[in-house]
Structure 1
Amino acid sequence: MLPRWLCGCTQTIENKFDDKKLQDIFDKRCAALFEDFSVKFETLKTEFLNSALEKISDFPTSSGENNASTTTTFAEEVIHGPEQKIIVKPKNPQETSRTKHDLLTSVNPVDHDIQFEEVRHIKDGGMLFQCSQSAEASKLEKVMHEKLSDNYNVHILKTLHPQIRVVGYAENLDGESLLQYILKQNDTIFGTNSDCKVVRTGATNKNKAIFQATLQSNQEMREQMDLKGFNPTVKPYDQKKKIQYTMENLDGGTLEITLDQDSPSKKGF
């Protein structure tokens, strides 16, 4: 039988051993739970990232991967649509697959809450991102510039103003007169925020007695034109004080307008 003074020491040692053992078990359990949580978090994060950048992975590369015939030109992307577009282009030409890799490893859409509508390829390994709003485009440009500026040029593309070709009128009107006729007769299309100007006028190549002009507008007017629809092309003619001609959008479709030189009407397209 142990002395009374030694019994207390033994009990203290046993308690300390039990506490240490419990602490070890607790630590191991916590480590296992944390590891399991980390794995699940990384899995969800990867799935979200892959989903957000799915269009990048599936889009054809300049080297012919997937369907390269769908790759668009720089000019085609700039001239169409009101969306904000961002171009990411390597400072030295490279394969698109390399650009994809750098984007996937350097830019995390989850961390920065990046949203974009579409991704397209341009030459020399560049990529073009399309955003529906200017705020999203600015945020995307900032993040990409911070992460990729050492090896890539990143900037927002300026959207070209929609252009309209007026062709087929039989009197050589100066730009200001022609513009006034168009504005007064189509006030339902040219609103308070619309902007339009004549950038060039002159005779057609086929017939020097028939004239044409190119107008530059803004996006609001373009949207109104699309909403109104297009009329079929008609043959131009000159009848006393009226001039009939067609108004043709450069990317397809024509509009018919009749100009009354004495009193421009409010007749729409």
Structure 2
Amino acid sequence: MKDGSLLIGCASKDDNARFKKIAQDKLSDEYEIKEVKGILPRVKIVGLTQNLEETELSELFEYVVKTNGDLFNLDSVCRVIKVYPTKKNNKVFQAILEIDRNTYENLIKADFLLVGYDYCKIYDAHEIKRCFKCSEYNHSA
């Protein structure tokens, strides 16, 4: 990395723990080993007819899991980041959800989600900062 540090990714938590132990055993005390938490993927659900912030979100998640049981499993992680109306119609809402990797893959393949009587389209919600001045990434100006 820019500051001379090294970033290493492992395939699983077990591999991560094994690598960390080996690095601590082999390297001197001059080196600092930190574990960086990963970012959960996000999806955008478009086509909701009611504002989800007005309802209890935990109840909503349970209902969505019951309705779309094949897309979620018992270990699914889901957190509502933001709910807001669409630009074209302020009576139609969209939600940004942060979910675990397996659920993300299932939802992207399914392409839709049933929320109550709403048939909602699912999109990948990636946000990449790009500079308006130099067109480089990870900064805005």
TM-score with structure 2 setting the length: 0.64
What is the aligned length?
120
1:186, 1:221 → 2: CA distance? 11
| 1:178–1:212 CA distance, 2 compared to 1 (3 A) | farther
State whether residues 179 and 198 of structure 1, in contact with CA within 8 Å, keep that contact through their aligned partners in structure 2.
Answer: no
- Cα displacement (A) at 1:180: 4.0
2:3, 2:102 → 1: CA distance? 34
2:125, 2:82 → 1: CA distance? 14
2:93, 2:29 → 1: CA distance? 49
Task: Select 1:216's aligned residue among 95, 98, 102.
Answer: 98
Q: Does 1:247 align with 2:122?
A: yes
Q: Does 1:130 align with 2:14?
A: no
Gaps of 5+ in 2: 127-141
Identical amino acids, percent of aligned pairs: 24
- What does residue 196 of structure 1 align with? 78
- What does residue 163 of structure 1 align with? 42
2:16, 2:117 → 1: CA distance? 47
- What does residue 32 of structure 2 align with? 153
Higher helix share: 1
State the Cα deviation string for residues 202-233 of structure 1 (Å, max 9, x = none): 2234542221112222233234346xx253x8
| 1:189–1:230 CA distance, 2 compared to 1 (3 A) | closer
**Counterpart amino acid of residue 170 in structure 1:** T
**Counterpart amino acid of residue 117 in structure 2:** K
| 1:207–1:148 CA distance, 2 compared to 1 (3 A) | farther
RMSD of aligned C-alpha atoms? Answer: 3.0
Determine which structure has more spread, i.e. the larger CA radius of gyration.
Answer: 1
State the Cα deviation string for residues 138-163 of structure 1 (Å, max 9, x = none): 2222332341441x332222122232
TM-score with structure 1 setting the length: 0.37
Q: Which has the higher contact order (CA 8 A, sep 6+)?
A: 2
State whether residues 96 and 125 of structure 2, in contact with CA within 8 Å, keep that contact through their aligned partners in structure 1.
Answer: no
State whether residues 49 and 93 of structure 2, in contact with CA within 8 Å, keep that contact through their aligned partners in structure 1.
Answer: yes
